[in-house]
Amino acid sequence: MLRNTRRETLVALVLIAPFLAIYGLTFVYPTVAMVNLSFTDAPLIGPGQWVGFDNYTRLAGERRFDTAFWNTAYFVALSVIPGTFVAMVIALGVSRLTGRMQALVLALFFLPYILPVSVVYRLWDWTLNFQFGIAMYVFDIWGIERVPIFKTTTWFMPAVAFVTIWWTCGFSILLFLAGLRAIPAEIYEAASLDNTGRWTMFRRITWPLLWPVTALVTTIQLILQLKIFDQVYLFSTGGRPNDNLVLVYYIFQRAFVNNQGGRAAAIAVVLFLIVVIVSVLNFQLMRLAERRK
Amino acid sequence: MAEIILDKVSKSFGSVRVINEVSLTIQSGEFVVFLGPSGSGKSTLLRMIAGLETIDDGRLLIGGKESQTLPPGQRNVAMVFQNYALYPHMTVRDNMAFGLRNIKMAAPEVERRVQDAARMLEMDALLDRRPSELSGGQRQRVAIGRAIVKEPAAFLFDEPLSNLDAALRVRTRVELAELHQRMNSTMIYVTHDQTEAMTMSDRIVILNDCRIEQIGTPMEVYTRPASRFVAGFIGSPSMNFLKGSYKDGAMTLLDGSRIAARVAVPEADTYELGIRPEAVKVCEGEGDTKGQVKVVEHLGERTLVHVHLSDGSAIVAQDGGRSQVQPGDEVALRFDISELHLFDSSGKAWHAE
């Protein structure tokens, strides 16, 4: 069949035009505008004076930025690797079940993932609230002293990380399950003929073959958890938001509490760069590790 | 090297019986092929010997040792899978050494065995490659190498050639036969390809419908098939079957022709006459029967002639390589009555004396 390439290009352009328009309007333009904004002293609404790199240099010595940065790093450390580990363990367990039982158990593990964050907050507030949380009654029965979990700096981040893992690991479990299903049964049969014990089977067969999925899951988790905001915002209401500050929360404070659009934009750009560098670095490092194995 | 004895082994998947009281003795050093159509249970039987499927009933002895309840690793057998089942993340060397390291064999001995196997299979240069960097034939060699290094009591092959292209399949077939002669070890080989079965085996076990139809040397099952199923399954082109009735030393076919048959069948009855195409010759003058040629296939050294008899039944006859027969011709056919078989309604075979 003869093809009119010019005409096909035209049709293609017409077809992708709506997407391009929306993408440009809601992503490209705001991103460029934000980077621009970060070099000005603009308030939340309206223009500002060009101040060069001032907004960035000021971040270096700022106590709140420091807290937000390290809290975010701490939260990522507490949630990404343990979350990946928990999801893998659960996926290994679920993969041993079959048929409807597997579907049921998988659904139970996936259920939290579909809940909105406000519901997650309510659920865990009911559970861990200092005054009326059911966990506290259990503490009373065992004679353990009640702990104001979301009001103490020591417990706040670990507790939020725990809730986040509970909330989001359903999706990682799905990815790991897909990875496990992709390993041919014949390989396990060959390994069983090779006198492979249970632990060796995991360490030398399952774990290396799951490595690409593990790289994917940790990268997705990294990107997601670096942008933590909702949980911290909700759980620190009535608590000590300044001690529990994370980067997105700090952007929110600068922009909507202090009315400093320019300075908020500068933090946002920094976070954007952190996310890009960390996730790309992580993915490449894991691929490198795979090749060296 | 070891003798393998199956004693009334059975296996069910749920309520479906897939292996029904199969008994079989495989001699030490013997090359046995399990041959059968798909769904005949041949792969299941092999996997039961390997320990990958449980044995519900009966006993399995490998080298005199009761093995039906042992885990696969302790049965001292090695298996080559249809899709090779190589460990994709390990080098060729590690693929072969994995099983040996698992039983804590000393490193120098592992290395010696891997080197020996690599030399035998001519893949010394491939030892540091990953399976993804190998061709299908090379992967096949690695899979065989992984079996060899274990120095097992028996080798089990599960349709190992079915993923290779035709030319490579023929070459690998010869190599496997050579390997068997050199190692002189017990080998069980599952296939649905009768050429593989005929060319490589000492004995063929023909399975159909969850049970053994016949056990015999390749020529035994070819010349004296025990049942109509075996007669039809072995041989290409397959045996001709013609319905008719037997009485007083002769078969009367449906087209009225009488064929002398010296067969010791117990009583006069309707039978099916079986005769291979090479025992039916196109001839000059009066033959045993005649018919009209429908298709002529020139194969070079011989010619296959598809003929319809006057009652409509089809038969394949053989003629010389330079046959002048044309479609539409009326031809006379002569049967070599020393190669006749009769089959009763239950499929049991009687052979010409």
Q: What is the pLDDT of residues B10-37, one digit of tens each?
A: 999 988 888 988 999 999 999 999 999 9
Query: Given an 8 Å threshold on Cβ–Cβ distance, is A186 in contact with B73?
Result: no
**What pTM value is reported for the model?**
0.83
> In the predicted model, what is the mean pLDDT of residues B172-198?
90
Report d(CA A214, CA A180) in Å as an integer.
11
> In the predicted model, what is the mean pLDDT of residues A61-82?
93
Average pLDDT value over all residues in chain A: 90
pLDDT at A9 over 60: yes
Query: Given an 8 Å threshold on Cβ–Cβ distance, is B79 in contact with A190?
Result: yes
Give the pLDDT band (50/70/90) at residue B167.
confident
pLDDT at B279 over 60: yes
Burial class (CB in 10 A: 0-12, 13-18, 19+), A278: middle
Write down how long chain B is.
Answer: 353
* Closest chain A CA to residue B143: A190
> In the predicted model, what is the mean pLDDT of residues A86-106?
93
pLDDT value for B80: 94
Q: Is the dihedral of CA A204, A208, A210, A215 positive or negative?
A: positive
Query: Given an 8 Å threshold on Cβ–Cβ distance, is B85 in contact with A186?
Result: yes
Classified as helix, coil or strand, A237 is: coil
Average pLDDT value over all residues in chain B: 91
Residue from A98, A192, A195 to probe the interface with B (highest B Cβ count within 10 Å): A195
Burial class (CB in 10 A: 0-12, 13-18, 19+), B240: buried
* Closest chain A CA to residue B100: A194
> In the predicted model, what is the mean pLDDT of residues A267-281?
93
Query: Given an 8 Å threshold on Cβ–Cβ distance, is A184 in contact with B103?
Result: no
Domains of chain A in sequence order: 62-292 (1.10.3720.10)
> In the predicted model, what is the mean pLDDT of residues B224-243?
92
* Residue B252: DSSP 8-state: E
Give the pLDDT band (50/70/90) at residue A292.
low
- The more confident residue out of B162 and B215 is B215
Nearest chain A CA: its distance from B123 CA (Å)? 21
pLDDT at A192 over 90: yes
Report d(CA A239, CA A145) in Å as an integer.
20
Query: Given an 8 Å threshold on Cβ–Cβ distance, is A200 in contact with B102?
Result: yes
Of B51, B88, B99, the CB nearest to A194: B99
pLDDT value for A5: 85
Q: C-alpha dihedral over A153, A154, A156, A161, to 10 degrees?
A: 140
pLDDT in tens, B102-121: 999 999 999 999 999 999 88
pLDDT at A202 over 70: yes
Give the pLDDT band (50/70/90) at residue A61.
confident
> In the predicted model, what is the mean pLDDT of residues A171-197?
94
Report d(CA B161, CA B169) in Å as an integer.
6
Query: Given an 8 Å threshold on Cβ–Cβ distance, is B87 in contact with A190?
Result: yes
Rounded (to 5) percent helix, strand, coil in chain A: 80, 0, 20
Q: Which residue shows structure tokens 């039906």?
A: B68
Give A195's contacts in chain B (Cβ within 8 Å).
73-74, 99, 102-103
Domains of chain B in sequence order: 4-227 (3.40.50.300), 237-351 (2.40.50.140)
pLDDT at A293 over 60: no
Q: Using a pLDDT cut of 90, give the percent of chain B over it.
A: 64
ipTM (interface pTM): 0.85
> In the predicted model, what is the mean pLDDT of residues B310-333?
90
